[in-house]
Amino acid sequence: MDINAVNALSFEDFLEIFGNVIEKCPIIPAAIWIHRPFKSLADLEAHISDFIDSLPEAGKEGILRCHPDLAGRELQSGALTRDSQEEQHAAGFTDLRPEEVSHMRSLNSEYKQRFGFPFVICARLSGQRDITRELQRRLGEGREAEREHAIGEVKKICALRLRNLVLSDPPNKL
């Protein structure tokens, strides 16, 4: 759909379509709906980003806690959102051998114990091996730096999900 169609959506339809652009956080699209009409896809994305940036640290961590573990129990049980299922599949997490699943669970557990929220990375932009290396690297970060890094990844995920829903802005005419 184009941005005009987005702007014409009822509140309920807007939430139905955009409710998971930030994993399991429909309150974010609900909060930015009042900013319609959006000028463009970039404007819609900027309102979401600004809303996230305006949250206190506890709110940002709440967003992070809504994300599933990579190769975690939700994936194994089929309980992921459709978006997360597709993203983890694209990164290769649905085809792991049992020992790889066990290794990821161990890393996820260590990460959550250290930071208090799950490891978040834009899985569509990397493969399973690169993601595993990045998880190991980020285990060495400080809590504040890691929270900001993870929020940046949430924004990347959101941008890609939005681009799956809304046509890109037309190029500027000269």
Sign of CA dihedral 85, 105, 25, 122: negative
**Active-site residue, from 35, 47, 67, 149:** 67
Residue pLDDT, tens place only, 68-89: 999 999 998 999 999 999 999 9
- Confirm whether 67 is a catalytic residue: yes
Residue pLDDT, tens place only, 117-154: 999 999 999 999 999 999 999 999 999 999 999 999 99
Q: Are 132 and 105 in contact (CB under 8 A)?
A: no
The full set of domains in the chain, from first to last, is 3-62 (no CATH), 68-161 (1.10.3330.10)
Q: Cα 8 from chain centroid?
A: 25
| Vertex 88 angle, CA 26 and 107, to 5° | 100
Cα 169 to Cα 4, 19, 38, 49, 166: the distances in Å are 11, 21, 11, 18, 9
